[in-house]
Structure 1
Amino acid sequence: MSKLLLPALSLTIALPFFVAATPAAAQSCEDLWYQRNEIYKAQGYCFRTQRGISAFGNAGCQYDNVEDVPLSATQRRVIADIQRAERTQRCPR
C-alpha cells in the first residue's frame, strides 16, 4: 500500500469516531437533551425533574448539584457543544 494512502485511510477509519463524539447541529432538541444528560447520569448526577428521573432514574446517584459532578475536560467540552446547539435551535430549557 502506498505511503500516501495510509494517512488518508487512517483518517477515513477514525472520522466516524470523532463525529460521534460531538453533537450534530441537525439533531433534535430531544436528542441533544438526552446526550447531555446521559453524561451527567454516567457521572452520578441526581436528577430533580420528572423528565430526568423518568429517562434516567436516580439509582446510584451521588451528586445533587450539577456543579459538583466530576467531569473530564472532554465531557465539559461536549456538554458545552451540546448546550450551544440547544441554544442555536432554541430548545426549551
Structure 2
Amino acid sequence: MPRRAVACLALVLAASPAAADFPCDELWGERNATYKDAGYCFKTQRGIQAFGNAGCQYDDIADVPLSARDRAKVADIQRRERENGCPR
C-alpha cells in the first residue's frame, strides 16, 4: 500500500467512530503498515506480498519498537477488527 494511501487511511480511521465503516482488509492494511514502518519482518504470504520484507529488522512482533501513539493506533485498529468480526 503506498505511503500516501496509508496516511489518508490513518486520518479517516482516526476520525470515524464506527468500526463497521471500514472493511477488514483496510483495517488489516493500516495495522500492518504501522508494523512495516517500524521494521517488522512479515511471515505470512499476505504480509510479504503487501509490504515485502526489504529493510525489515524485527522477526518477533513483540520486539518492534512502536511509539506510544503507534501502540494506541494498533490497539484501536485491533478493537475495530474484533468489532467487525475480522479474521485473525
Sort the TM-score into its range (normalised by shorter chain): 0.7 to 0.9
Look up the equivalent residue of 2:43 and give its one-letter code. Answer: R
**Structure 2 residue aligned with 1:68, among 40, 63, 73?**
63
Report the equivalent of 1:84: 79
Distance in 2, Cα, partners of 1:76 & 1:56: 19
Aligned-pair distance for 1:23?
7.0
Inter-CA distance 23–47: structure 2 relative to 1 (3 Å threshold):
farther
**1:47 and 1:57 in contact (8 A); partners too:** yes
**1:22 and 1:81 in contact (8 A); partners too:** no
Residues 37-65 of structure 1: CA deviation (Å, up to 9, x unaligned): 00000000000000000000000000000
**Structure 2 residue aligned with 1:28, among 23, 28, 53?**
23
State the superposition RMSD in angstroms. Answer: 1.8
List gaps (5 residues or longer) in structure 2. Answer: 1-7
The TM-score, its normalising length taken from structure 1, stands at 0.77
**Structure 2 residue aligned with 1:50, among 23, 45, 50?**
45
Report the equivalent of 2:3: none
Residues 1-28 of structure 1: CA deviation (Å, up to 9, x unaligned): xxxxxxxxxxxxxxxx9x8162742111
List gaps (5 residues or longer) in structure 1. Answer: 1-16
Report the equivalent of 1:40: 35
**1:40 and 1:69 in contact (8 A); partners too:** yes
Q: Number of aligned residue pairs: give it.
A: 76
Distance in 2, Cα, partners of 1:41 & 1:52: 9
Percent identity among equivalent residues? 58
